[in-house]
Amino acid sequence: MKYTLYNLVKNSIDKYPDAVAQMYREKSNSDFKNKSFTEMYSEIKAISLALIDLGMKKGDKIGLIADVGHRWLPVSLGITTVGGVDVPRGTDATKEDLNYIFKHTECKIIFLETPKVYQKIESILAEFKELKTIIFFDDYSSLKVPSRIQTLSLQSILDKGKELLKTKEKEYYTITESIEEDDVATIIYTSGTTGAPKGVVHTQKSLTWEVFHSINGIDVKPYGATMGFLPPWHIAERLIEKASFHVGCAVAFTSVPNLAKDLQAVNPTFLLSVPRVWESFYNKMLGNVSKASPVAKSIFNFSHWTALTFSNRKDILTGIKFQLDNKSFIETFIDKISSIWVCFFLFLPNLFAQKILKKVKGALGNRIEFAISGAGALPEYIDRFFYSIGVPIIETYGMTETVGVSCRRNYPGTVVGTVGSPIKGVEIKLIDSNGNVVTEPNVKGVAYHRGPHIMKEYYKEPKKTSEVLSQDGWLNSGDILVWTVNGELKFAGRAKDTIVLFGGENVEPLPIEDTLKQSPYILQCVVVGQDQKTLGALIVPDKEAIQNYLKSKNITAPADIKDWKSTKEINSIFKDEIKRLNSTDMGFKSFEKVTDFYLLENEFQIGEELTQTLKVKRNVVLEKYQKEIESLYNTNSHK
């Protein structure tokens, strides 16, 4: 089969014509409506023919500025299945980003979801010399658009396309069959954590190959459902929507604020999310427990401990718990014997624990079989918890340049704490700081990827392309990983995030941050210390958790968080939590320990300190809170 997006669509239509492809609410308080695969295919064909009628030719760049919802995928596929190149971004994109993207790609046609997006670019329209047509998802009658630019509604495009289908359907099929695997399909401008956006160019083959192979080997039953709530231009959401289409499952569209409610309404069979959302599920559970009676807290804590311990020991017994170092026969034998005894004694308590924790699993719906996590490293304690209650998370590893997935865990056979192994057809090698290929477990190296899913280039950026992509196809990810004893990969940090201390020690901040966030009093944190003698941390406290604790001690918290650190009781909370979690017992070396902290007043926000997938923009944080960071070291004279 030729790897093109049209063939992906046609295969699914032939297999699941009457299955539900999408579920959506027309209004926030209305019931879900269903759209079948056949109905969606009709929309895709109509959009394609209408765009061709407007003059779109193979290779033309088409802007697509919209948020998650049932209209995005038909428009994207309407563009790409007949050779157009979609250039997607969300409605929250800045005026500067849109200006750069539209000029860089010389878009002739752009889709805009809302009038607000148009207002961002209204004053700079004259600069878009190639722009001929704007197609609005929503009503645009109140807008004043220059007469040189044609304006249309998405509905009029659908209506026009359906009329054209009556006479030009044969022409449509001829065009789709002419599309080649190497034809460009999309240019995705990354919103990464540093620098200006780069246009990642993917072909028909790289996108379609990834859809087929990233899900291959996982028993995803047709006619199931998942939730769509991440930005659709982001590679994670884009991949899951197409993968769901490929396996005959519906995507039910929601938003993060409505996710909990809609999980109950839809009852998904699997669920994709990013690490920060899994953290929020976990923290919300702990927040509810903190308000419970002492007896209820004790029952939950016992159940929590039992489920985690039983799960961990069971994995040791069955040989699927990851190891970073080889163990002797005697050590392995002792581990297995002790695990047999622990599993024996905890067998009945674990059954009790599962009944207690069933409500937590039920919050994800009553059909959930597995979950998927991507677009960032999943903290192991959260990973282990969901696994222990019967929701194995298939953690994936990749980047926009690899269509999202180069590695993933197996299901069944999920190995908690790893990102699994390279998917079939993908190669990964780790290169250490001396330029040698890493073959031993627990030796850090930068991951290089190669396979059919690798991007073609950064658009119009040959120098930046050559910096990361070699002529023989190896992509330098900049990610630091290690091999496990059994050949899985484990994420260890980002090369660009490595902190070099005054004494020359290299520290990866992410494992420390993930561990500190296990504290019920810490919402977010960023470890700092470049060129300093010791590490420090910027901490966003969980205000409610702190206030509840102080209230139980009859202590009133100062109104201003700036005064919290000087409050003995609050200062002690954070010192004790850092000492407990960032310890030798937790696997940290002496130079990896945080010696001081600064409490920030406000949570990190999307578009400021966070990307759309809730990853911290470390460079933004370091710049924005430069004075606060300096105060950690000026006060204590660490340098």
List, for residues 398-443, the tens digit of each pLDDT value. 999 999 999 999 988 899 999 999 999 999 999 998 899 999 999 9
CA distances from 80 to 7, 8, 104, 213, 422 (A): 12, 12, 19, 20, 28
Residue 202 lies in a domain: no
**pLDDT band per the 50, 70, 90 thresholds, residue 393:** very high
Residue 510: band (very low, low, confident or very high) from pLDDT cuts 50, 70, 90: confident
Of the two residues 179 and 547, the one the predictor is more confident about is: 179
Share of the chain above pLDDT 90, in %: 60
How far is 495 from 510, CA to CA, in rounded Å? 11
Neighbours of 429 (CB within 10 A): 15
Chain-centroid distance of CA 32 in Å reads 25
- Answer for the pair 21, 251: CB distance below 8 angstroms, yes or no: yes
**pLDDT exceeds cutoff 50 at 312:** yes
Q: Go through 239-257 and write b for each residue having 16 or more CB atoms within 10 A of its CB, e for each that does not.
A: bbbbbbbbbbbbbbbbeee
Quick check: is 185 in a domain? no
Find the domain containing 542 and state its range: 498-636
pLDDT tier at 196, thresholds 50, 70, 90: low
* Bridge partner list, 188: 200
pLDDT in tens, 280-310: 888 888 888 888 888 998 999 999 999 999 9
Mean pLDDT of 375-380: 82
- Residue 625 in domain: yes
d(C-alpha 457, C-alpha 401), whole Å: 9
375: which 2 tokens?
A: 């677009």
The confidence band for 559, taking pLDDT boundaries of 50, 70 and 90, is confident
Instruction: Give the pairing of strands 250-253 and 20-24.
Output: parallel
Distance CA 416, CA 299 (A): 25
Give the dihedral of Cα atoms 146, 148, 149, 155; nearest 10 deg.
100
Long-range contacts of 241-245 (CB under 8 A, 24+ apart): 241/72, 241/73, 242/8, 242/73, 242/207, 242/211, 243/211, 243/214, 243/215, 245/8, 245/9, 245/12, 245/21, 245/37, 245/73
- CA distances (Å), origin 346, targets 332, 384, 414: 21, 17, 22
Question: What gap in Å lies between CA 490 and CA 442, rounded to an integer?
Answer: 9
Q: For all residues of the chain together, what is the average pLDDT? A: 90
Angstrom distances, CA of residue 375 to CA of 134, 234, 465, 613, 615: 31, 9, 22, 7, 8
| Number of domains observed in the structure of the chain | 2
Cβ(580)–Cβ(591) under 8 Å? no
How far apart CA 72 and CA 64 sit, in angstroms, is 8
Q: Strands 370-373, 270-273: parallel, antiparallel or unpaired by DSSP?
A: parallel
Within a domain: 128: yes
Which of 246, 273, 300 finishes a domain? Answer: 273
Lowest mean pLDDT among 53-57, 83-87, 350-354, 433-437: 433-437
State residue 635's pLDDT score: 55
**Whether this model's pTM surpasses 0.75:** yes
Measured CA to CA, the distance from residue 8 to residue 512 in angstroms comes to: 42
At residue 616 the predicted structure's pLDDT band, cuts being 50, 70 and 90, is confident
Separation in Å, CA 124 to CA 90, 104, 118, 137, 327:
19, 14, 10, 21, 64
Residue 15 domain flag:
yes
What residues have CB less than 8 Å from 219, skipping those under 6 apart? 411
CATH of the domain at 97: 3.40.50.12780
CB 454 within 8 A of CB 203: no
In the predicted structure, residue 508 carries a pLDDT above the cut 90: no
Task: Identify the domain boundary among 244, 273, 302.
Answer: 273
Residue 341 lies in a domain: no
**Which CATH number do you get for residue 586?**
3.30.300.30
The secondary structure of 523-554, three-state, reads EEEEEECCCCCCEEEEEEECHHHHHHHHHHCC
Residue 388 lies in a domain: no
Asked whether residue 506 is assigned to any structural domain, the reply reads yes
End position of a domain, from candidates 253, 273, 293? 273
